[in-house]
Amino acid sequence: MFAQDHMKKTLIALFAIVCSSALWAQQDVQFTQFANNKIFYNPGVTGAGDAICLSAAHRSQWVGFDNAPTTQNFSSNIPLNFLHGGLALNFTNDMIGYFQDITVGVGYGYQMDLAGGTLGLGIRADFRNKNITSGVWAPPQTMNDPSLVALGSSSMATDLSFGAYYQQESWYAGL
């Protein structure tokens, strides 16, 4: 009896929490060959290595379909010894249908020697502009959907990322 009451109260509390907060869905940008663009996924990589690393990537999905998703990314990792780490710059353009996300990110990473390897701790601030482009997609005139009023609008948001990256000669791991 106690277990059923406890379970019932837990489910009611969980339902109340879920229903009382706003939920936002998102899809992170995906690239293959992530090992060639670690700075995109983990700010802890910032400043790792001995040379400037520049990378560019492009991904096209559903090739042959109109308004198919496309994504471009340019990132840089600039080690600076006087900062005991480095700086990073990241630019991403993500187009999915009539939604376009343009993100610019800047980051700093601190690198330190630890147990025969290097530990990097990093932070990155991303500034994202989300556009709903009316030129790409036009709704049918007979549609009476109030959400379509937003066509042609844009909004700005910020995102703060933290990361840790540990590297030895033959392996690496990150969070």
pLDDT of residue 142: 46
Element (H, E) at 62: none
Are 37 and 75 spatial neighbours (Cβ–Cβ below 8 Å)? yes
> Is the whole-model pTM more than 0.85?
no
Q: Which range has the worst mean pLDDT, 79-83, 121-125, 154-158?
A: 154-158
Q: How far apart are the C-alpha atoms of 119 and 166, rounded to whole Å?
A: 4
Element (H, E) at 74: strand 70-80
Residue 79 DSSP SS3: strand
- Measured in degrees and rounded to the nearest 5, phi and psi for residue 66 equal -65, 140
Q: Indicate the burial class of 165 (C-beta count within 10 angstroms; 0-12, 13-18, 19 or more).
A: buried
pLDDT of residue 25: 55
Q: How far apart are the C-alpha atoms of 86 and 107, rounded to whole Å?
A: 8
Residues 82-140 have pLDDT tens digits of 999 999 999 999 998 778 899 999 999 999 999 989 999 999 999 999 887 766 555 56
Instruction: Sketch the domain layout of the chain as residue ranges.
Output: 30-166
Q: How far apart are the C-alpha atoms of 115 and 62, rounded to whole Å?
A: 46
Assigned token pair, 64: 């042959």
